Structure 1
Amino acid sequence: MTVEKLITDHIDIWSSALQTRSTAGRGSNGKIDLYGIKKLRELILELAVRGKLAPQDPNDEPASELLKRIAAEKAELVRQGKIKKQKPLPEISEDEKPFELPEGWEWVRLGELFNSIASGGTPSKSNPDFWNGDIPWASVKDLGKEKYIAKTQDYISHLGLKAGSKLADEGDILICTRMGLGKIGIASRPVAFNQDLKSVKLTSSVSLDFFFNTYSTVKIKGTGTTVEGIKQEQLLNYVIGLPTVNEQHQIVEKVDELMSLCDQLEQQSLTSLDAHQQLVETLLATLTDSQNAEELAENWVRISQHFDTLFTTEASIDAFKQTILQLAVMGKLVPQDPNDEPASELLKRIEQEKAQLVKEGKIKKQKPLPPVSDEEKPFELPVGWVWARVGDILSLKNGYAFKSNYFVDSKRKHVLTTPGNFYETGGFRYRGGKTKYYDGPLNEEFILRFGDLMIPMTEQAPGLLGSAAFIPKDEHIYLHNQRLGKLELYNEGITSDFIFWFFNSQLLRVELARTCTGTTVRHTSPDRVLNALVPVVPSNEQLRITAKINKLMLLCDALKSRLQSAQQTKLYLADALTDAALS
């Protein structure tokens, strides 16, 4: 089977095998990995280095003759004093040959193809005269983005070059030997480089582009605990298959052609994913924009008729979940009952209860929160509902800054709870190996109980801020640290389940996002949370809303589970197809 046929006959697998990352965003915005296309790119390169991408020509000069010319070229450069004589590399054993090569190819160590290899360096950071010059200075972060390197993130001066770096010539290959193993680039102009890179001058008998493609398939195995790296000796001893000169060029042309097809397939997939997500969001917006119950019913029917084609990605299901919550907090998810006690009466009872708690000395008297102005109200509430501030209906308790010297690696009774335990739409997870155990003095006030409702006060991941979760019932005893807030209700007329879903809705998250501060890690404050707006809902309707939300969330979870199962099958097929093509 030709590679073109392999691509076209299984186009559905290559383009639909997706992997979802943990970060937020739409299809082309970082949440989706096009796993099938990624595997296809890897397969093309693997077929190339195994001699299965271009046909062999028996009239080509064999690679054994090419190796003789390479040896002669090096000997002449040594004689001219342009390079130093290299140590002989060990013969290649049968165990080092990972597969059988085509006729005319030869196994060769990388070092046999290098005329020279040099290490770079870093000029002193404390001397400003060494930096911000006009010489591009490459480091690990500059490799892996483009094939050719002309621009870098950092630049040094001629003084900096003399004081602590090396210059790679145009056409030299830069290879990473530390922190970014496997990364490679070709200098398209003179480029300085740091100590984590090696600059290699390749023999003139080997195509730069062929070497670039082949090196991308080499399985680099580093050593080290903190940072992985390889020694120069290891790099020189890696083994690759070397084809004839003509076949090198044929392989490069074929790889370029097929990678261009992959680029087109990738762009089509991303465009399709993005268009699909925009369609989903547009149709879901018709639900929240509905002006009355009749219009909402019509829009819901339209969406329900295409349920199986609309909600086919995790992003679309997550968008559906947020729409459910938005409809809930707008009073559009369940019908209102005119016999329900209005929320204004519930607010009066809460005020009376707060006053009694102050009188009994159980809470401190709070500063009055500002009344809700008409300009602040994001939408009109149903009859019987009322706008208030979060601090009108609940309190937010801060945690404690536990001292780091009391944390141990070995398992203890108490586990620190952090924003890292939370994820979107009300999730909480125990983090296993990353857990910090506490073994120091402890105030009982900062021990969390099963069912406590918590929110992160810092946004360690996009969309996390304000995401509420209940403390689970498991074998751990969780501690309340200063980066979390504990929500406590004043009156049972406000249900914790409704507040849980409200805090996980975009209504609150958008409001908190507008008031966040911080650059590296965005964070909010108790005052900002307590001043946020909340729709106060009649008690009976809160129960009806949460019952409806729970039912619809189960549907979403079932959709996502089915989708993940289907995606696992596609990932397996992409892997199996790749393995079959290489066997």
Structure 2
Amino acid sequence: MLATYRLKVRIQIKFYFDNRYYEKVGSQLKDITDELPFEIPDGWSWTRFTQIVSFDLGKTPDRHNKKYWDDGKYPWFAISDLQERATVNSTKEKISAAALRDKFAGELIPQGTLLMSFKLTVGKTSILGIDAVHNEAIISIFPIISEHEITRNFLLNALPVIVLCVKKREAVKGVTLNSSKLAAMFIPLPPLAEQQRIVSRVDELLAQIDIIEQNQADIDTLYEEFKKRTLTLAIQGKLVPQDPNDEPASVLLERIRAEKKAKLGKKYVDSYIYKGDDNCYYEKVKDSVKEISDEIPFDIPKSWRWIRVDNLFQHNTGKALNSSNTQGISHPYITTTNVYWGYFNLEHIKEMPFTEDEFLKCSIVPGDLLVCEGGDIGRAAIWENDISMCIQNHIHRLRAYYPVCTQFYYFAFFVYKSIGLIGGKGIGIQGVSSGALGKLIFPLPPLGEQERIVKQVEIILENLKDEG
């Protein structure tokens, strides 16, 4: 049988001429004013929970007894099946006819019953949309006055707040609300007509909140779509007009090649992309030439060029975490969990030892573009903090051979990721290993245009936020 809690002793709570509340149990009278959690309007009354309802505790059939769970037929509610202040119609688990017979006396709780969690997650209320049973962390509640379900609906909305007061006052702190504390809960009880008005007003307000939340979700979606579209136009050369007075991208490309050669010395391999007289794209690597038109993702202005990441950035990953490697000096490091689109979360930073050579390879400075190798593949942010920091092996550090507008290439990573050129299919790549990263082809605008593009994007997105 279910454990049922009902009124056994006649209790009266009255408000006397001395502005104090008293509770009469049998012939005993007790001042309870200091126990009441808050003031209530004139016309309301304080009562104990079990003066206006009875409630039943559920059960969990023996998990080791297969006959209780095999061929499950009857819905069995756990807290995870409840939805706050909503009607619930399905469960993750069902019990067998044997379990219903042996543990619940063959009785299902009827559709329309009020449920509330009172262990672990305390005060979560739902209405049963189907006949069912539930576990011992949930109670089924039956108002003594059930006229038009008015009190049930009032308690559906009021109990989460009331239970919160009990948790604070009784110092239960969400661990467990036992049945005796539950039975003794003080309930502020309005007249039935006012209960109905309260429920109607709450329903109206919640509907308005749903509309506001949906509108905000729509706005957020529109903002992200507009941002994606803006950045796509930006990296395709369609956001700001080209200026014939800009130093050509071809000159910038020569500067980058020269700087890379100076830094790499004998390791340097000359390579670049150009457009032939036949309007096809070719890549020259040492003395060999190969057509790569199929690798070009979109059209760009005539004054722009294409460049591989390998030729634009010196890039490498960080150090792998290895508990047996204790050489070097301990330094803080970040990993993919710290990198988000456009910013870093530095709340949880760990340290590991880096040798001098490892520190030179893995340390980051303002202006470095960091790209995730794993997790959300290709997620990127520019490091702007003037603090000592290193990277773990699942992050790429990109540092330009020759000064470019790094923010423009952050935009490029964002767009490439969003349209499937990173971690996607077709001409995209399935992961961002160092080799795959280096082969990515990015547009190279004149430096002046890169800066104008970034400034224009910032203005557009800032104005959009202000309007939102």
- What's the TM-score once normalised by structure 2's chain length? 0.70
- 2:448 is aligned with 1:543: yes
SS of 2:162's partner is coil
CA distance in 1, matches of 2:32, 2:102: 43
- 2:235 is aligned with 1:329: yes
CA distance in 1, matches of 2:69, 2:309: 55
Contact in 2 for aligned 1:173/1:184 (Cα 8 Å): yes
Partner of 2:88: 149
CA distance in 1, matches of 2:265, 2:156: 77
SS of 1:210's partner is helix
Contact in 2 for aligned 1:210/1:251 (Cα 8 Å): no
CA distance in 2, matches of 1:136, 1:345: 72
Contact in 1 for aligned 2:84/2:124 (Cα 8 Å): no
SS of 1:177's partner is strand
- 2:157 is aligned with 1:213: yes
SS of 2:408's partner is helix
Contact in 2 for aligned 1:395/1:488 (Cα 8 Å): yes
Q: CA deviation at 1:131?
A: 5.1
- 2:390 is aligned with 1:479: yes
Alignment of 1:508-523 (within 5 A): 508-512=417-421, 514-515=423-424
CA distance in 2, matches of 1:135, 1:231: 27
- 2:466 is aligned with 1:553: no
SS of 1:380's partner is coil
Contact in 2 for aligned 1:122/1:195 (Cα 8 Å): no
Name the one with the larger helix percent: 1
Partner of 2:14: none
CA distance in 2, matches of 1:128, 1:342: 79
Q: Which amino acid aligns with 1:175?
A: M
Partner of 1:237: 184
Higher deviation after alignment, 178-187 or 344-353 = 344-353
CA distance in 1, matches of 2:257, 2:57: 75
Q: CA deviation at 1:399?
A: 2.2
CA distance in 2, matches of 1:160, 1:355: 77
Contact in 2 for aligned 1:422/1:469 (Cα 8 Å): no
Contact in 1 for aligned 2:382/2:407 (Cα 8 Å): no
Contact in 1 for aligned 2:59/2:135 (Cα 8 Å): yes
Alignment of 1:26-45 (within 5 A): none
Partner of 2:57: 118
Partner of 1:289: none
CA distance in 2, matches of 1:94, 1:372: 87
Partner of 1:169: 109
Alignment of 1:307-386 (within 5 A): 321-338=227-244, 342-344=248-250, 346-347=252-253, 360-361=266-267, 373-386=292-305
Partner of 1:51: none
Higher deviation after alignment, 173-182 or 352-361 = 352-361
**Which of 128, 132, 140 is residue 79 of structure 2 equivalent to?**
140
CA distance in 1, matches of 2:261, 2:42: 91
Partner of 1:258: 201
Q: Which amino acid aligns with 1:422?
A: V
Q: Which amino acid aligns with 2:338?
A: N
Q: Which amino acid aligns with 1:192?
A: V
Q: CA deviation at 1:111?
A: 3.6
1:436-467 deviations in Å (ceiling 9; x for gaps): 3325565423333343221233456xxx9423
Contact in 2 for aligned 1:465/1:509 (Cα 8 Å): no
- 2:335 is aligned with 1:418: yes
Gaps of at least 5 residues in structure 2 are 1-5, 12-24, 272-284
Contact in 1 for aligned 2:154/2:198 (Cα 8 Å): no
- What's the TM-score once normalised by structure 1's chain length? 0.58
1:93-151 deviations in Å (ceiling 9; x for gaps): 21233444455543122244443432432652895972562221212222125633332
CA distance in 2, matches of 1:174, 1:115: 12
Tell me the matched-pair count. 415
The percentage of counterpart residues that share the same residue type is 21
Partner of 1:401: 320
Partner of 2:410: 500
SS of 2:183's partner is helix
CA distance in 1, matches of 2:113, 2:325: 52
- Root mean square deviation of aligned Cα: 4.7
Contact in 1 for aligned 2:109/2:131 (Cα 8 Å): yes
1:44-87 deviations in Å (ceiling 9; x for gaps): xxxxxxxxxxxxxxxxxxxxxxxxx965899xxxxxxxxxxxx9
CA pair 185-406 structure 1, distance change in 2 beyond 3 A: farther
Contact in 1 for aligned 2:67/2:99 (Cα 8 Å): no
Name the one with the larger strand percent: 2
Partner of 2:344: 428
SS of 1:95's partner is helix
Q: CA deviation at 1:330?
A: 1.4
Q: Which amino acid aligns with 1:191?
A: A
Contact in 1 for aligned 2:371/2:396 (Cα 8 Å): yes
Q: CA deviation at 1:544?
A: 3.4
CA distance in 2, matches of 1:494, 1:542: 6
CA pair 355-188 structure 1, distance change in 2 beyond 3 A: same
**Which of 70, 73, 94 is residue 33 of structure 2 equivalent to?**
94
Q: CA deviation at 1:339?
A: 5.8
Contact in 2 for aligned 1:123/1:161 (Cα 8 Å): no
Q: CA deviation at 1:472?
A: 0.9
Q: CA deviation at 1:492?
A: 0.6
CA distance in 1, matches of 2:268, 2:305: 27
Q: CA deviation at 1:191?
A: 2.1
- 2:465 is aligned with 1:534: no
Contact in 1 for aligned 2:416/2:422 (Cα 8 Å): no
SS of 2:133's partner is strand
SS of 1:327's partner is helix
CA distance in 2, matches of 1:328, 1:473: 29
Q: Which amino acid aligns with 2:124?
A: K
Contact in 1 for aligned 2:84/2:125 (Cα 8 Å): no
CA distance in 2, matches of 1:371, 1:224: 73
Gaps of at least 5 residues in structure 1 are 1-68, 75-86, 278-313, 517-521, 565-583
CA distance in 1, matches of 2:157, 2:396: 52
CA distance in 1, matches of 2:418, 2:44: 61
Q: CA deviation at 1:473?
A: 0.9
Partner of 2:20: none
CA pair 236-252 structure 1, distance change in 2 beyond 3 A: same
CA pair 380-449 structure 1, distance change in 2 beyond 3 A: closer
CA pair 382-152 structure 1, distance change in 2 beyond 3 A: same
1:20-67 deviations in Å (ceiling 9; x for gaps): xxxxxxxxxxxxxxxxxxxxxxxxxxxxxxxxxxxxxxxxxxxxxxxx
Q: Which amino acid aligns with 1:502?
A: A
Partner of 1:469: 382
